[in-house]
Amino acid sequence: MELMAQIIGLVNQKGGVAKTTTGINLAAYLAALGKYVLLVDIDPQANATSGVGLDSQTVPLNLYHSLIGGLLPEEIIRKTALFGYDIMPAAPDLAGATVELVSQPNREFKLYELLRRIRTNYDYILIDCPPSLGLLTINGLVAADEVIIPVQCEYYALEGLGQLLRTIELVQENLASPTKIKGALLTMYDRRNKLSRQVRKEMERNFSGHVFSAVIPRCVKLAEAPSFGQSILQYNPHSKGAKAYRQLAQEIISLDK
């Protein structure tokens, strides 16, 4: 059967809202539920790369070599320890890509072009974006069919969301990219905390119908897993964080039916 991946960007220019944690663990559960998944790390911090157990210092080839060096995506993609779960690794080199891309034609479409070639190998391609609205993230938005916006349940949660939504609109209009919002994902939720409950209410008001039912609780196991190069499915599948990411994966699969 010919596959045709749905390409989903994990975007929020705010740092530390769980874009990478969501990328690593959503990919793991989509794979566990029988899907072929590619996680694309477009962040020079390379946290998704190290989070699945690769050392970005020693991985010889990374996204930089494809975006700038012209290597085929197949040449840089690596398998992870989980069946059906591949990664396109990043490395700190990628920071320089922004500067090198600026002078190139179609600089916003480089990632789109790369992923277009390999779409038929996967069910889902997840793009872990850096915490900025710079050229790498714009490449992520153009390449993505849809975006998931992780939102950390804290005081400044909604700050910057307006700017993010305007950027998505600009990409839709000026770059003729049909990128849609798949949903906002509440992360680091603490139900005993009044603020968490307020953020949830606010989000449900602002993104009515577009907030995932799966809510990711604050869970220390989720924070520990990457230091072992493991997803939560491998590190602690019984934790509440694991259950929440499993639920998110199921929700995404059922939305696509």
Ligand X SMILES: Nc1ncnc2c1ncn2[C@@H]1O[C@H](COP(=O)(O)OP(=O)(O)OP(=O)(O)O)[C@@H](O)[C@H]1O
Question: Which residue, 7 or 46, is less far from ligand X as judged by CB?
Answer: 46
DSSP class of residue 86?
E
Q: Enumerate residues 69-128 that contact ligand X by CB under 6 A.
A: none
Tokens of 221: 């196991």
- Closer by beta carbon to Mg ion, 20 or else 196: 20
Please count the residues of this chain forming the interface with ligand X, following the rule CB under 6 A.
Answer: 19
DSSP structure string for 7-21: EEEE--SSTTSSHHH
Q: Which of ligand X, Mg ion, none does residue 187 bind (CB under 5 to 8 Å by kind)?
A: ligand X
Binding residues (CB under 5 A) for Mg ion: these are: 19-20, 47
Task: For residue 174, count other CB atoms closer than 10 A to its CB.
Answer: 9
- Measured from the Cβ of residue 254, the count of other Cβ atoms closer than 10 Å reads 8
Q: Between 171 and 222, whose beta carbon lies closer to ligand X?
A: 222
Please select the residue that binds ligand X; options are 8, 29, 38, 47, rule is CB under 6 A.
47
* Segment near ligand X (CB under 6 A); pick from 9-17, 71-79, 161-169, 202-210: 9-17
3-class state of residue 94 by DSSP: helix
Torsions phi, psi of 235, nearest 5? -80, -45
Q: Which of residues 27-46 bind ligand X (CB under 6 A)?
A: 43, 45
State which amino acid sits at residue 153: C
Residues 192-231 that bind ligand X (CB under 6 A): 216, 218-219, 222-223
Residue 118's nearest CA partner among 79, 61, 72 is 72
Q: Under the rule (CB under 6 A), what is the footprint of ligand X?
A: 15-21, 43, 45, 47, 131, 187-188, 216, 218-219, 222-223, 241
